[in-house]
Amino acid sequence: MKKLILKLASVFCTVVMLSNGIAVHAEESEKIILPSGKPLSWVQHELEETDKANTEENPLFASAAVGIFQGDEVLYTGYFGETDKENQIPADENSVYEWGSISKTLIWVSAMQLWEQGKLDLEKDVREYLPEGFFQYLSYDEPITMLNLMNHNAGWQETTRPIWETDENKILPLREELQRIEPEQIHHPGEVTAYSNYGAAVAGYVIECVSGMDYCDYVHQHIFELLGMEHTALNPAHSDNAFVYEQRKKMKSYSINTVYGIAIDLGNRLNYVPAYPAGAATGTLSDLMTYTQAFVNPAAPLFENPETQKILLSGTSFYGNSDIPSCCHGFWPEEYAVRTYGHNGGTTSGQSNMLFDPESGTGLVVMTNEPNGNWYLNYPQVFVFGALDAEKYTSGSPEKVKFDGYYVISRSTYRGMMKFIPYLSAISVESLGDTESIGNNVYAIRSEIEGWNQETAMLFSKKTYPDGNHGLEVSSMELIHDKFYLLKLCLFTIYMIIAIASVYLLRIRYKIKKAGRQSELTESSVMIAGQLARIVSFLTLLSVYVICMNCSGGIPLTAGKIISMIQIICMIICGISAILPYILNKNNKYNIPHTIGNLLCITAVLYFDMYRI
């Protein structure tokens, strides 16, 4: 009995320790001051207060794993919430979360390892490493270098094919998958920064070709095993790590609606990434912390020469003409009170974030099972690293600048049937706030941090493209100025109005027929065919968006072919319907508006590439 009590007590203590997250004693945590200027104990208190406020009636988050370290010492690990609410499985040190795009840093580390061995030239055309004829849709002959892939400026648009696979058995080998999802190259290499999963996955395949090893094996051998990361998988179906494979099946994903106070169970969300170098790594918090700690270790355990680590964290692209880096060999620098490096990531099941400050050796890792993120992803980084003081770059009396017009996001699809999508998310920079020029073609927009009584600033730079147009570079993407945005949006609106008008014309026809009357407006079958074609065309466009949302941002090839066929048929019918009434009944007064409607519909279908697979 005594033994049983002791056993139960020890289990209870372990559970309490794990759920509250203890790494450093309370007295010590008072003394440890983080780069934000706050003591560790304060950060710990804030994290745990949020956990206390998270109840069944008032759900704030599903689960989160948070780790803070300084050098090789783990200062704090906290596991909050549950990874499976139904079965009440709490988040703990065995919970595995998806890294998402943090996985890309494994590619960049591998590339730098091969670079220091002299096997890979970062400035050489990657086609020299890849099999002959690897790319099928390149538009430009300029070389695409590993640096282009790291800086996400090789010129590819967003892929139009789904990048997720739900059936484990349908996962294609990396090379085949990359050829299946290859997007069109719409910019010259080096011209526009547009975050690209495809580009990163190609870099992973380059590692495979240069090292002569399967990419997954390479990473296991040269990173995971080197650092002792035993609970991380990289293979799309996590088959390279039995522990992760089992644990991942136990984890569920949630979407928390704090307004309605509900936690929506999204299930296991086992969506696999066949282009796995771009985002398939999955593992425990402890392993991701170990990996992150390697970057603040002066001995640089991942490289033969510690200097390589310094080079890895040196800028490869900069804001304007300044020395503020916007990308460091694939790692994203972020300006807080101190400059941090790292990457964040998101999948269909969760989001993660990895940040470190090599100067102080401090790092923060957060992992969640919510695809929309939660409080732990947005606030702890400011608690640990502080906020960028608006005055740091904007001191004195900076010149106020106005950026007029609308900007479209570079990371999108500009060719193919999804071309209309970026026009639904254009940005007016003016509406973001007052812009200040801080010199060297760099600009800042000030904003207040809620609850902190402090002003921070968002930095961006202005870029002029060879065609004279300009764009604004914000970290991993650019906002491209679109002079004719309103005109394009007008065309889209008219296309929509024409479809709605066609519905009304059909309703009117029905009424007139029912009343036993005749009208030039409704008698012509050719006109009716045109009206139907305009409605079908618009509904098909809506279906593109619905499929695209359901297939994680892509259109499967078969669906694409069907949609393309329907749009071509609609265009042909509209074309015939625009011309034929003049032959059949040229005195019909409705011929002209009818023809204009049909021609505008055809113009919209052609302009927005609705017929292109």
Partner 1 sequence: MNKTTIRNLIQADIITMNGGKNNLRFTMILMLVIFGSMGFLLSPLMGLYCPLMLSGFFVPMLFQNEMKYHSEKMFSLIPISRKELVTSRFLLTIGLYTVCDLIFYLLMLLSLNLKLYRKITDAIDIIGYIVKKSEGSFTELGFLNLCYFAAFAIGLIVSANALRMYFRDGELFAAAFSITTKTKKMPLKNYIPAILIILAIFIFFLIITGIIPIGTAMLVILQLFIQLAEAANGFLLGAMLTAIAVMEAGYHYICTVLEYDQKDL
Residues binding partner 1 (CB under 8 A): 260, 264, 406, 423-426, 428, 431-433, 485-486, 489-490, 492-493, 496-497, 500-501, 504, 507-508, 511-512, 515, 517, 542, 545-546, 549-550
**Cα→Cα distances 356→152, 212, 297, 327, 342, Å:** 21, 32, 11, 15, 6
Q: What minimum distance in Å lies between the beta carbon of 280 and partner 1?
A: 25
User: 187 or 481: whose CB is closer to partner 1?
Assistant: 481
Q: Say how far residue 275 (Cα) sits from the centre of its chain.
A: 15
Nearest-angstrom CA–CA distance, 79 and 91: 5
Extended strands (E) in 432-515? 435-437, 442-449, 454-464, 470-474, 477-482
The distance of closest approach from Cβ of residue 396 to partner 1 in the complex, given in angstroms and rounded to an integer, is: 26
| Shortest distance (Å) from residue 326 CB to partner 1 | 22
Take residue 343 and report the two structure tokens written for it: 């990457």
The amino acid at residue 2 is K
Residue 73 vs 265, nearer CB to partner 1 = 265
Q: Which is nearer to partner 1, 333 or 371 (CB)?
A: 371
CB closer to partner 1 out of 223 and 429: 429
Of residues 345 and 422, the one with the C-beta less far from partner 1: 422
- Residue 43 corresponds to which tokens in the numbers above? 């950060």
508 or 572, CB closer to partner 1?
508
Environment class of 89 (CB within 10 Å of its CB; exposed 0-12, middle 13-18, buried 19+): middle
Q: How far apart are CA 12 and CA 213, in angstroms?
A: 46
Rounded to whole angstroms, how far apart are CA atoms 237 and 268? 13
CB of 372 to partner 1, least distance (A): 14
Sign of CA dihedral 224, 230, 233, 239: positive
Residue 354 pairs with which residues in a beta bridge? 343, 365
CB of 512 to partner 1, least distance (A): 7
d(CA 546, CA 162): 13
What contacts 250, CB < 8 A, 6 or more positions away? 83, 84, 89
Q: How many other C-beta atoms can be found within 10 angstroms of the C-beta atom of residue 39?
A: 15
What's the rounded Cα separation, in Å, for the pair 335 and 277? 27
**Complex with partner 1: residue 401 or 576, whichever CB lies closer:** 401
Structure tokens at 390: 């608006």
Q: Which is nearer to partner 1, 42 or 545 (CB)?
A: 545
**In this complex, which beta carbon is closest to partner 1, that of residue 112 or of residue 604?**
604
Of the candidates 567, 531, 523, 299, which has an alpha carbon nearest to the alpha carbon of residue 418? Answer: 567
As beta bridge partners, residue 355 has 342, 364
- Is the CB of 227 or the CB of 494 nearer to partner 1? 494
Nearer to partner 1, 74 or 489 (CB): 489
Residues 611, 570: Cα–Cα separation, whole Å: 10
Q: How far is the CB of 432 from partner 1 (least distance, A)?
A: 5
Which whole-number Å values give the CA distances from 526 to 508, 532, 553, in the listed order?
16, 10, 37
432/557 with CB nearer partner 1: 432
Question: What's the number of CA atoms in the CB half-sphere (13 Å) around residue 608?
Answer: 34
Spatial CB neighbours of 559, under 8 Å, sequence gap ≥ 6: 547
What is the phi/psi pair of residue 400, to 5°? Answer: -80, 135
CB–CB of 283/361 below 8 Å? no
